[in-house]
Amino acid sequence: MSKLMTDPSWIRAEIVQRILQRFRDALPLYEDMMNVARDINLAAGEEEARRLGRVMHAAIRCASSDELQQIRGMFAVMRNEPVNYYDLREKVSVESTAFRPVAVDEIERNGFRVFCSMLSMDCIPEEHQDFVQSIIDRRHLFDDELKELIAIDAQHGGLDQEQANRFVDKCVDLFTRPEEALVSLAEYETLREINKVAAQVLISNSLAFNHLTPSVASVPAAHAEMQRRGIKTIPVWQGPVGKDVILRQTSCLAPPVVLKFPNGDGTFTTAEYQETFVEFEERLQALTRKGRVRFEGMFASGKAQLTLSEKDDGYADHYYETMQAALSDFPGDPAELWSKGLAYFTYRVDSSVEVPADVSFETAVESGLVKLLPQQYEDFFGPAATNIFNSNIGLEGVSNVGIAKPDAQSSFETLLGQDVVDMYDYYDAIEQESKRSVCESLGIDC
């Protein structure tokens, strides 16, 4: 990258700041959210608050593989790569990936990432597919200028400041909901009857962020604080109860906005539309594939043991107790997580401990000469994402059965135009590099 090129982390930071400002101006709830996040993070310490202040995520939904490929090109300008495949078709009619920086120092500079879902035609009944497709065909998200800027970046390996400014302007527009809907009110209502997710995706010609989420030091604290302020959250916060692994999240609906639905004769019908929500995330330790399989088995068995449903009195207490019990056998101690290969770490030599003769990497860890530092999880959690979709759109009871396919990920990768990064490779490479450098400094082979 030449000196004249703009730092991609500047582009990420600028987009977040500008859209967050728009959300704060339009929705007082976002002001509450940022105040709650700031208070919780400051309580965790100044340093922690600064670190957490740099991490945010958003979500977008698209409607076709053409759109998905253009989105991939746009995120490449920000150096956000598609990581992981999330098959959420059964419950929420989409398949997803997350565009995020894949270098630790990039995340450190600005960790902004975007969960990106594509509506799956597999979930639209055949008799409605032509209608849905006719609306998808009306969308034109990327204008010539944006396409040109993406091409310049690909060709030159970066954008100069003037180009980067134009790119940011274009992205901010694309990520903001236009006042004018793409469909008439009648079409919107027909879409809702066919599939509520399709109705949200296709309501406008945009990739509007439906939320912008700050990282907090404690999601249970953020959840309780929103409720204390009289704000209605989802029934229970999502993620591990009692174990500091993967990710916790909670959310609350924002009030509806007024949109103009075209009548087709140059006039409009105005109506309220609700989509935006507020969300908090708490990033915890990344698990290995083995750890994840074990953990998700316990999580699913906890869910299966629930005897109350969300609408019942006492659901929240029942949920937390049941889930905590179901996860209680999952190790919480770093040494045990490490020795069983369940979670990812980086390593640091404790220089106050004397290096014994004949030390091996394993004995160095066991003796405390090498300290275990948990690696932060940088990805998403499918079951939580599903529940957040569900409670925000009101999809309870939806089940697109019979759509499972063994090669779902590779079909998605074909539509995307590249393979997604496997998150396990990302964490594993960081762990291996850290191990190598610790062994080198101790003068041992490993």
- Confirm if 344 and 338 have CB atoms less than 8 A apart: no
- Would you count residue 259 as binding ligand OOG (CB under 6 A)? no
Count CA atoms within 13 Å of residue 330 on its CB side: 27
Task: Report which of 200, 385, 187, 186 is spatially closest to residue 275, judged by C-alpha positions.
Answer: 200
Task: Report which of 212, 149, 173, 111 is spatially closest to residue 6, judged by C-alpha positions.
Answer: 149
d(CA 53, CA 39): 11
Letters for 183-222 (x = contact with Ni ion by CB under 5 A, - = none) are ------------------------------x---------
d(CA 435, CA 306): 42
Task: Report which of 320, 231, 235 is spatially closest to residue 278, judged by C-alpha positions.
Answer: 231
Q: Which partner, Ni ion, ligand OOG, none, binds residue 385 by CB below 5 to 8 Å per kind?
A: ligand OOG
Measured from the CB atom, the residue of 184 and 206 that comes closer to ligand OOG is: 206
Q: Which two tokens stand for residue 333?
A: 């101690």
Stretch that binds ligand OOG, among 8-16, 47-55, 360-368, 382-390 (CB under 6 A): 382-390
Q: Which two tokens stand for residue 317?
A: 């207490």
Please report how close the Cβ of residue 213 comes to Ni ion at its closest, in angstroms.
5
Please report how close the Cβ of residue 385 comes to Ni ion at its closest, in angstroms.
7
54-72 burial: b if 16+ Cβ within 10 Å, else e:
bbbbbbbbbbbeebbebbb
Stretch that binds ligand OOG, among 66-74, 137-145, 384-392, 403-411 (CB under 6 A): 384-392
Please report how close the Cβ of residue 292 comes to ligand OOG at its closest, in angstroms.
16
- Would you count residue 115 as binding ligand OOG (CB under 6 A)? yes
- Would you count residue 278 as binding ligand OOG (CB under 6 A)? no
Please report how close the Cβ of residue 57 comes to ligand OOG at its closest, in angstroms.
6
Out of 84, 93, 117, 288, the only residue in the binding site for ligand OOG (CB under 6 A) is 117
d(CA 54, CA 107): 9
- Would you count residue 198 as binding ligand OOG (CB under 6 A)? no
Out of 16, 388, 420, 438, the only residue in the binding site for ligand OOG (CB under 6 A) is 388
Residues contributing to the site for ligand OOG (CB under 6 A): 59, 61, 115, 117, 210, 249, 380, 384-385, 388-389
